Amino acid sequence: MSLIVQKYGGTSVADAERIRSVAARIAARHRAGDQLLVVVSAMGDTTDRLQALAREISEHPEARELDLLFSTGETVSMTLLAMALHALDVEAVSLSGAQAGLRTDTTHGQARIVKVAPERIQQELERGRVVIVAGFQGITEELDVTTLGRGGSDTTAVALAAGLGAGRCEIYTDVDGVYTADPRVEPKARKLRDISYEEMLELAAVGAKVLHPRAVELGAVYGIEIVVASSFTEEPGTLIHGGVTMEQFNKVRGIAHDLDVAKVTVRAVPDQPGIAATIFEALAEHQISVDTIVQNASVERLTDVTFTVAGDDLRKATPIVEQVAKKIRAAEVVAEEGLGKISIVGTGMQTAPGYAARMFRALSDAGINIDMISTGEIRITCIVHRSDVEDALRTLHKTFELEKAAAGEL
Amino acid sequence: MSLIVQKYGGTSVADAERIRSVAARIAARHRAGDQLLVVVSAMGDTTDRLQALAREISEHPEARELDLLFSTGETVSMTLLAMALHALDVEAVSLSGAQAGLRTDTTHGQARIVKVAPERIQQELERGRVVIVAGFQGITEELDVTTLGRGGSDTTAVALAAGLGAGRCEIYTDVDGVYTADPRVEPKARKLRDISYEEMLELAAVGAKVLHPRAVELGAVYGIEIVVASSFTEEPGTLIHGGVTMEQFNKVRGIAHDLDVAKVTVRAVPDQPGIAATIFEALAEHQISVDTIVQNASVERLTDVTFTVAGDDLRKATPIVEQVAKKIRAAEVVAEEGLGKISIVGTGMQTAPGYAARMFRALSDAGINIDMISTGEIRITCIVHRSDVEDALRTLHKTFELEKAAAGEL
Residue A262, pLDDT score: 95
pLDDT tens-place string over residues B320-335: 999 999 988 898 999 9
**Does B186 fall in a domain?**
no
Question: Taking CB atoms and an 8 Å limit, are A16 and B75 in contact across chains?
Answer: no
Sorted by sequence, the CB contacts under 8 Å of residue B246 that are 6+ apart come out as B408
Residue A21 at interface with chain B, using a CB cutoff of 8 Å: no
Q: What is the pLDDT of residues A129-151, one digit of tens each?
A: 999 999 999 999 888 999 998 77
* Alpha carbons B167 and B169: distance in angstroms, whole number: 7
- The helix (H) or strand (E) run that includes residue B63 is helix B63-87
Is residue B139 within 8 A of residue B102, CB to CB? The reply is yes
User: What is the spatial distance between Cα B276 and Cα B272, in angstroms, rounded to a whole number?
Assistant: 9
Last residue of a domain, one of A243, A274, A295: A243
Least CB-CB distance to A83: which of B65, B76, B99? B65
Instruction: Answer whether A84 touches B (CB < 8 Å).
Output: yes
Of A19, A65, A98, the CB nearest to B82: A65
Query: In this predicted structure, what is the pLDDT of residue B205?
Result: 62
Residues B9 and B140 in one domain: yes
A79 closest CB neighbour out of B65, B75, B94: B65
User: Quick one: A316 and A213 in the same domain?
Assistant: no
Question: d(Cα B127, Cα A31) in Å, to the nearest integer?
Answer: 53
Q: Indicate the residue of A16, A75, A143 with minimum beta-carbon distance to B57.
A: A16
Mutation pick from B26, B72, B83, B145 vs chain A, by most beta carbons of A within 10 Å, is B83
Nearest CA in chain A to B132: A65
Domain count for chain A, please give it.
2
Q: Which of B66, B94, B98 sits opposite A65 (nearest CB)?
A: B94
Q: What is the ipTM of this complex?
A: 0.73
The whole-number pLDDT of residue B408 equals 45
Q: How far apart are CA A256 and CA A244, in angstroms?
A: 20
Instruction: State residue B279's pLDDT score.
Output: 86
DSSP sequence for A317-332: HHHHHHHHHHHTT-SE
Q: Does residue A407 sit within a domain?
A: no
Cβ distance of A76 and B57 shorter than 8 Å: no
Residue ending a domain, choose from A243, A266, A297? A243
Instruction: Report residues of chain B scoring pLDDT below 70.
Output: 1, 205-208, 244-250, 348, 350-353, 405-410
Q: For B98, which residue in chain A has the nearest alpha carbon?
A: A143
Residue A357 and residue A268 share a domain:
yes
| A107-128 average pLDDT score | 93
In this structure, the answer to whether residues B128 and B259 fall within a common structural domain is no
B50 touches chain A (CB under 8 A): yes
**How many whole angstroms from its chain centre is CA B251?**
22
Give me the pLDDT at residue B353, please: 65
| A interface test, pick of B43, B64, B65 with most A CB neighbours within 10 Å | B65
Q: H-helix or E-strand containing B362? A: helix B355-365
Q: What is the pLDDT of residue B357?
A: 82
CATH number at residue B49: 3.40.1160.10
Q: Is the pLDDT of residue A74 over 80?
A: yes
- CB–CB of B62 and A72 under 8 A? no
A245 confidence band (pLDDT: 50, 70, 90) = low
Q: How many residues does chain B have?
A: 410
Angle between helices A275-285 and A314-327 (to 10 degrees): 140
- What does the alpha-carbon distance between residue A232 and residue B371 come to, in Å, rounded to a whole number? 61
Across the interface, whether the CB atoms of B57 and A20 are under 8 A apart is answered yes
Phi, psi of B377 (to 5 degrees): -50, -50
Q: How far is B2 from chain A (nearest CA, A)?
A: 26
Please state, in angstroms and rounded to a whole number, the distance separating the CA atoms of residues B170 and B235. 13
pLDDT, position B352: 63
Q: Is B75 on the interface with A (CB under 8 A)?
A: yes
Higher pLDDT among residues B409 and A242, named by residue: A242
With 70 as the cut, is the pLDDT of residue A250 above it?
A: no
Confirm whether A182 is domain-assigned. yes
CA separation, residue A348 to residues A252, A373, B157 (Å): 9, 18, 65
pLDDT of residue B251: 77
Please report the pLDDT score of residue B130 as a whole number: 98
Chain B nearest C-alpha distance from A388 (Å): 44
Under DSSP, is residue A140 helix (H, G, I), strand (E, B) or coil?
coil
Residues B130, B26 contacting (CB under 8 angstroms): yes
Question: Which one of A57, A75, A80 has the shortest CB-CB distance to B19?
Answer: A57
A51 at B interface, C-beta within 8 A: no
Contact across the interface for B71 and A68, Cβ inside 8 Å = no
Residues 6 or more apart whose Cβ sits within 8 Å of residue B19: A57, B13, B43, B77, B80, B81, B84
In a domain, A405, yes or no: no
Under DSSP, the state recorded for A117 is -
Chain B hits for A66, CB-CB cut-off 8 Å, are 79, 83
3-state secondary structure of B164: coil
**Same domain membership, residue A314 and residue A229:** no
Average pLDDT over residues A253-268: 91
Residues B290 and B165 in one domain: no
Would you say residue B217 lies in a domain? no
Q: Which residue of B has its CA nearest to A43?
A: B53
H or E element that contains B194 = strand B194-196
Given a cut of 90, whether residue A225 has pLDDT beyond it is yes
Q: Residue B366 belongs to a domain with what CATH number? A: 3.30.2130.10
- What pLDDT, on a 0 to 100 scale, did the predictor assign at position B410? 43
| Cβ–Cβ under 8 Å, residues B153 and B215 | no
Same domain, yes or no: A212 and A266 = no
Residues A329 and A215 in one domain: no
CA atoms of A246 and A73, how far apart (whole Å): 44
- Kindly report the pTM of this predicted structure: 0.79
Whether the per-residue pLDDT at A294 is higher than 50: the answer is yes
Q: Which residue of B has its CA nearest to A60?
A: B87
Q: B98: which chain A residues are within 8 Å (Cβ-Cβ)? A: 143
In this prediction, residues A328-351 reach a mean pLDDT of 87
Task: State the CB neighbour count (10 A cutoff) for residue A273.
Answer: 6
Q: Cβ–Cβ of A50/B76 closer than 8 Å?
A: yes
Is the CB of B137 inside 8 Å of chain A's CB atoms? no
Note whether B362 and B270 are same-domain residues. Answer: yes
Find chain B residues with C-beta within 8 A of A68's C-beta: 75, 78-79, 94, 96
Tell whether the model's pLDDT for residue A342 goes beyond 60: yes
Same domain, A152 and A228: yes
So what's the pLDDT on residue A246? Answer: 47
Domain residue limits at B264: 255-399
Say yes or no for a CB contact (<8 Å) between A80 and B69.
yes
What stretches of A238-369 show up as alpha helix (H) in DSSP?
Answer: 275-285, 314-327, 355-365
Chain A residues within 8 A of B82 when measuring between CB atoms:
62, 65
- Is B142 part of the contact surface with chain A (CB cutoff 8 Å)? no
A72 interface with B at CB cutoff 8 Å: yes
Is the Cβ of A62 closer than 8 Å to some Cβ of chain B?
yes
CB pairs under 8 A between A and B: 102
Domain boundary among A200, A219, A243: A243
Question: Mean pLDDT across chain A, nearest whole number?
Answer: 89
Judged against a pLDDT cut of 90, whether residue A208 lies above it is answered with no
DSSP E strand stretches across B271-404? 290-295, 302-310, 332-345, 370-376, 379-385
DSSP state of A195: E
**Is the domain of B164 the same as that of B299?**
no
Query: To the nearest whole angstrom, how far is the Cα of A146 from the nearest Cα of chain B?
Result: 13
Please give the order of strands across the beta sheet that includes A302-310: A290-295, A302-310, A254-270, A332-345, A379-385, A370-376
Helix (H) or strand (E) holding A395, with range, is helix A389-399
Residue B334 lies in a domain: yes
Q: How far apart, in Å, are the Cα atoms of A161 and each of A5, A41, A113, B128?
A: 6, 16, 13, 42
| Shortest Cα distance, chain A CAs vs residue B289, angstroms | 28
The answer to whether residue B50 sits within a structural domain is: yes
In whole angstroms, give the CA distance from residue B338 to residue B358.
25
* Residue B179 to residue A177: CA distance in whole angstroms: 64
Strand, helix or coil at A132?
A: strand
Q: Is residue B316 part of a domain?
A: yes
Three-state secondary structure call for residue B285: helix
Please name the member of A57, A86, A143 whose beta carbon is closest to the beta carbon of B83.
A57
- Mutation target for A interface from B21, B47, B66, B68: give the one with most A CBs within 10 A: B68
Backbone φ/ψ region at B287: left (φ over 0), alpha (ψ -120 to 50), beta: left
Q: What is the pLDDT of residue A146?
A: 95
Both B158 and B69 in one domain: the answer is yes
Residue A222 corresponds to which amino acid? Y
